[in-house]
Amino acid sequence: MLLPCASNLRAQRDLGVDFESGEHALVEGDNLEVLKLLASSCAGTVDLVYIDPPYNRGHDRLYPDDYSVTRKDYAARSTTGDDGASGHLHAQWLSLMAPRLALARELLHETGIIAVSIDQLEVSRLRLLMEELFGEENFVAEIVVSLNPKGRQLAPFFATSHEYLLVFARDFRKTALVAASKESVDPSDFPRADERGRYRLLPLRNTNKKFNPTSSRSMHFAVWAHPRDGRVRAEPFEDAVEVWPVFGDGSSAVWRWSARRIESDCDQLVARQVKGRGGARLDVYQIDRLTPERTKKLRTIWTSAEVGSTDDAVSQLKALVGPVFPTPKPVGLLRRLLATMPKDSVVLDFFAGSGTTGQAVIEANADDGGTRRCVLVQAVEPTEPGGEAAQRGLASIAAIAAARMRATIERCRAARASGVPGPGLRVFELSPAAPEAGLDDDRELLVQVFRRRS
Ligand SMILES: C[S@@+](CC[C@H](N)C(=O)[O-])C[C@H]1O[C@@H](n2cnc3c(N)ncnc32)[C@H](O)[C@@H]1O
């Protein structure tokens, strides 16, 4: 059962950028408390939840529980038949995820989606948990993301080179997700060219044998084509010959377009001589052009060549803040995900780490004029004393995320014409216990970031 939230939010104006007008936010605090705090006032406002939670590799420190049993101890207990700890490792991880995912669902707009990065250790349990919380019918995809092209050579058998992105819709029938992109269009799929640019020829005949003159009677009719100049019409014209839809083996087929569409869009059709089993004959093709607006469906395997590798991710963070966080995600992974949702999406990442999601949102807006907003939540977690981050004055992981957001904003502002306002950032910390006298609760300042919809 979820206990009520016992925390306040306190604005940290000096850590933000143009705090009052800032459209992005970073909260330092346990995400369960922050999600509870937002649950009532921000329900149904989020378009995209992306999270990259701890993968439960045994050394993760799971919040907010006291994680006192190591994987080694757990394994030793299990093999010695002490089943008092049976399932403990996974149960503890699932106890971390379940209430947070349940609250994330409440925050999602009915057209929204949630995408969760995970590896092979917990993917099966996470999928079952998400099916339970979001509904099996709202499952969208289990995407294989290959972020480590060389593979983990230290892995016991195969050199694992991929992980997963589990995607669920809040409501599969209403989702705003468009899983297609301009970048996935391959110009070599359009091998022909004329004065209007590249194109390909697609058979006008329906190549799916399920559609035939018995199943689709109205699509089985003759069209008229000119044997020399290739013109095609639904009606007879001078020197035209009749062409029926047939499969390669000569059996009867159907067209993909109705007679009415063939007549109205006849400039997009051409007839060509082909060699069939019964000798040469005319067939009809659609001239399918490569236009700038063209998109192609995204596949369910995303490669490091497309979205960046783990090495790229480290370099991207290093370029902005330094080599201060070991496991960031590549910006390209987030950019691809953002591109599947509307340009004015409210984006929430409550396992923020170094703030890759924030960088991706700000850069996506700068590139396409979008008005996305993003809210990051990162637990209070100190960086390693004496490590790279600490040496750079970054005492906590939230400080890394804040520094990354500020650096991205600065870079983005530098690229803008002078006078054009740039993005801004509101930073908050979670502070204990609501009733404390004299403590301001700044939650409304965070809630405003979610209230894009009027
Ligand atoms: C795998 S990292 C995320 C990395 C991030 N995607 C990036 O690109 O930098 C997971 C993060 O979640 C944080 N975390 C773990 N438990 C948390 C909790 N209960 N609330 C908020 N953050 C938490 C960890 O401190 C860690 O920074």
Domain stops at, among 254, 289, 324? 289
Note every long-range contact of 412-419, with CB atoms under 8 Å and residues 24 or more positions apart, other chains counting: 412/362, 412/363, 412/366, 415/366, 416/366
Q: 354, 350, 340, 394: which is closest to 374 by C-alpha?
A: 350
Rounded-to-integer distance, Cα 270 and Cα 224, Å: 11
Domain stops at, among 257, 289, 321? 289
81 pLDDT tier (thresholds 50, 70, 90) = very low
pTM: 0.85
CB distance 6 to 434 below 8 Å = yes
Evaluate if residue 79 carries a pLDDT over 50: no
Whether residues 345 and 210 share a domain: the answer is no
Q: How many domains is the chain partitioned into structurally? A: 2
Report which residue type is found at 263.
E
For the Cβ of 359 lying below 6 angstroms from any atom of ligand 1, the answer is: no
Is 276 part of any domain?
A: yes
Whether residues 379 and 279 share a domain: the answer is no
Which of 28-32, 246-250, 293-297, 299-303 is least confident? 246-250
User: Which pLDDT tens digit goes with each residue over 151-182?
Assistant: 999 888 999 999 999 999 999 999 999 999 88
For the Cβ of 397 lying below 6 angstroms from any atom of ligand 1, the answer is: yes
Model pLDDT, residue 452: 62
For the Cβ of 16 lying below 6 angstroms from any atom of ligand 1, the answer is: no
Model pLDDT, residue 64: 46
For the Cβ of 348 lying below 6 angstroms from any atom of ligand 1, the answer is: no
For the Cβ of 377 lying below 6 angstroms from any atom of ligand 1, the answer is: yes
Model pLDDT, residue 86: 44
Model pLDDT, residue 184: 84
State the average pLDDT over residues 4-12.
Answer: 86
117 pLDDT tier (thresholds 50, 70, 90) = very high
User: Which pLDDT tens digit goes with each residue over 97-107?
Assistant: 999 999 999 99
Evaluate if residue 85 carries a pLDDT over 50: no
Rounded-to-integer distance, Cα 261 and Cα 265, Å: 6
**Alpha carbon of 56 to those of 6, 125, 231, 301, 357: distances in Å?**
27, 12, 63, 23, 21
Distance 17 CA to ligand 1 centre (A): 23
State the average pLDDT over residues 115-120.
Answer: 97
> Structure tokens of 317?
């963070």
For the Cβ of 379 lying below 6 angstroms from any atom of ligand 1, the answer is: yes
Report which residue type is found at 107.
L
Is 2 part of any domain?
A: no
Whether residues 58 and 168 share a domain: the answer is yes
Is 147 part of any domain?
A: yes
User: Which pLDDT tens digit goes with each residue over 378-390?
Assistant: 999 999 999 999 9
Is 179 part of any domain?
A: yes
Is 1 part of any domain?
A: no
State the average pLDDT over residues 44-61.
Answer: 87
Whether residues 251 and 332 share a domain: the answer is no
Whether residues 179 and 316 share a domain: the answer is yes
Q: For residue 48, give its domain range.
A: 7-184+295-450
Q: Which atom of ligand 1 is nearest to the CA of 329?
A: 8
Whether residues 179 and 222 share a domain: the answer is no
Whether residues 164 and 196 share a domain: the answer is no
Whether residues 134 and 195 share a domain: the answer is no
Evaluate if residue 66 carries a pLDDT over 50: no
Distance 381 CA to ligand 1 centre (A): 9
For the Cβ of 55 lying below 6 angstroms from any atom of ligand 1, the answer is: no
Beta bridge partners of 269: 286
Which of 3-17, 275-289, 426-440 is least confident? 426-440
Query: How much of the chain, in percent, has pLDDT values that exceed 70?
Result: 90
Q: Which among 94, 378, 397 is the best mutation to test ligand 1's pocket, defined by most ligand atoms within 8 Å of the CB?
A: 378
Identify the CATH number of the domain in which residue 353 sits. 3.40.50.150
Whether residues 121 and 223 share a domain: the answer is no
Q: What is the mean pLDDT of the chain?
A: 90
For the Cβ of 378 lying below 6 angstroms from any atom of ligand 1, the answer is: yes
415 pLDDT tier (thresholds 50, 70, 90) = confident
Whether residues 200 and 119 share a domain: the answer is no
> Structure tokens of 171?
């409501």
Residue ID of nearest Cα to ligand 1 atom 16: 63
Whether residues 260 and 306 share a domain: the answer is no
pLDDT greater at residue 275 or residue 114 = 114
Whether residues 109 and 122 share a domain: the answer is yes
Domain stops at, among 271, 289, 307? 289
